[in-house]
Amino acid sequence: MKIREQTPTRLVLSGIPGGWRWMLFAAVLGLVLTAAVVAAGVYEINRQSYWSLIWIALGLLIAQGIFWVGAVTLAVGRERLELDLTSGRGRYGVKSPIVETGSKPFSFDLALVHSISLERFGERRPGGPDSMERNAKVARARLRTAKPRRAVKLDETENGRDARVCAIAEAVAEFLGLEVVETGG
């Protein structure tokens, strides 16, 4: 998420569920696959190989599904965190018709914010050259509440590009008058 509004009494963060880069990648990949499948379909029609069109149609369906997941989420998917010192309340909401974020909308008292955490950990990833595993260094900032017991992911990145994540964590912690709690190494 990114800071969209910051006043002395109000802080608003918003973003796209799943991240805008991944959704843009899905939309572009869907378009490229659609073009490739349509080209293959034209080739098969010219060869008069009509049974192959069943597989072409399935490929077109999959390519369009990938495109629409990315395009619709970019167009209407939003997650939003509002912190209001005047009312002493915070609200988190997610609106996404396609991408399941695992988070449910909720509101909370700002006095019950437990901490702002900056978590650093390694994550094993399969694959890579010669089927070797590679490790990713992940940094994640989260706002944690005591009641209801929830955690809102503010931002996440990997492999040393954590300046943005640290900046979001510091901004939210400063706004709430809290310290950033770092975990991991």
Domain boundary assignment for the chain: 2-17+77-184, 24-75
pTM summary value: 0.69
DSSP the chain: -EEEEE-SSEEEEEE-TT-HHHHHHHHHHHHHHHHHHHHHHHHHHHTT-TTHHHHHHHHHHHHHHHHHHHHHHHHH-EEEEEEETTTTEEEEEEE-SS---S---EEEEGGGEEEEEEEEEEEEE--SGGG--EEEEEEEEEEEETTTTEEEEEEEEETT--HHHHHHHHHHHHHHT-PEEEEE-
- Predicted confidence (pLDDT) per residue in 1-14, tens digit: 888 999 999 999 98
- Predicted confidence (pLDDT) per residue in 123-175, tens digit: 776 665 655 556 778 888 999 988 778 888 888 887 777 888 899 999 999 99
